[in-house]
Copies of this chain bind each other. A is one copy, B any other.
Amino acid sequence: MIELVAFDGDDTLWHTESMFALTQQRFRELLSPWVDPQLIDERLLATETGNLQLFGYGIKGFTLSMLETAIELTDGRVPSSTPKELIDAGKAMLAHPVELIEGVEEVVEALRVDHRLIIVTKGDLFDQESKVARSGIADRFDGVEIVSEKDEATYRRILEEYRVRPERFVMVGNSIRSDVLPVVGIGGHAIHVPYPVTWSHELVEPEPELAGRYQVVSSIAEVPAALLQAAA
């Protein structure tokens, strides 16, 4: 029997990565007169990864990493308007309307009849709270956990807080690294709902022995059926 179902936020309940991808495309366009486009992507990812330890996840850190990469790659040759454009791009991301992924509302309505539902999302506290509030579906959930990292310790703490045993817990999300592996690692269930775009940092190849320890579905609409299977 499944008691508690947790949903990831970004790219599981609402679109996010497509907005990052569009901003990154604009970033590439701004720098491409000066730098080889492939190098731009490589260096931005390297800068982001290097900064994770100080910045954590989220749009503000991403914006600072874009600025840092632009300065580094162009050695100050970009027009003075570029830094301003990058800050504005970050602000536009923060102010962007929250677009629910198709099928989310129906699935949440269906599952809340028999389960406690929560959101477990990582990133900037302020930005994530704002997105949850603007999503219009916050009141369907029994709790919202905004965390700085999704590792086994985080999921253990959440299960303790909600007093649920791992075998009665299902995590639904788009990231193998954050939503699947640590949950399976502590004995819980995971349902992977891939999103068309995944940030390179989140891309991992699961170990072969994990095949069969979690389910993959092609859209959130298939989650209720997968849940029945997890409970079986």
**Nearest CB of B to A129, in Å:** 5
Asked if A33 CB lies within 8 Å of chain B CBs, one says no
Mostly helix, strand, loop or mixed at chain A's interface? helix
Looking at the complex, which one of B51, B55, B72, B91 makes contact with A54 (CB distance below 8 Å)? B91
Q: How far is the CA of A67 from the CA of B82 in the complex (A)?
A: 12
Set of chain B residues within 8 Å of A148, measured between Cβ atoms: 125-126, 129
Stoichiometry, as copies per complex, reads 2
> Contact at A126–B87, with CB atoms within 8 Å?
no
Distance (whole angstroms) from the CB of A149 to the closest CB of chain B: 8
- Between A54, A63, A68, A79, the greatest number of chain B beta carbons within 10 A of the residue's beta carbon is seen for A54
Which B residues are CB-close (under 8 A) to A71? 80, 83-84, 87
Q: A95 interface residue, CB < 8 Å from B?
A: yes
A-B contact pairs, 30 of them (CB 8 A): A54-B91, A55-B60, A55-B94, A55-B126, A56-B124, A56-B126, A56-B127, A57-B126, A58-B60, A58-B126, A60-B60, A60-B64, A60-B124, A63-B64, A64-B87, A64-B90, A67-B67, A68-B84, A68-B87, A71-B80, A72-B84, A75-B80, A76-B80, A76-B81, A83-B83, A124-B126, A125-B147, A125-B148, A126-B148, A129-B148
- Which residues of chain A have a CB within 8 Å of any CB of chain B? 51, 54-58, 60-61, 63-64, 67-68, 71-72, 75-76, 79-81, 83-84, 87, 90-91, 94-95, 124-127, 129, 146-148
Closest 3 CB pairs of A and B: A76-B80, A56-B126, A125-B125
Known: A51-B91, A125-B125. 8 other contacts (CB 8 A): A55-B94, A56-B124, A56-B126, A57-B126, A60-B64, A71-B87, A76-B79, A124-B126
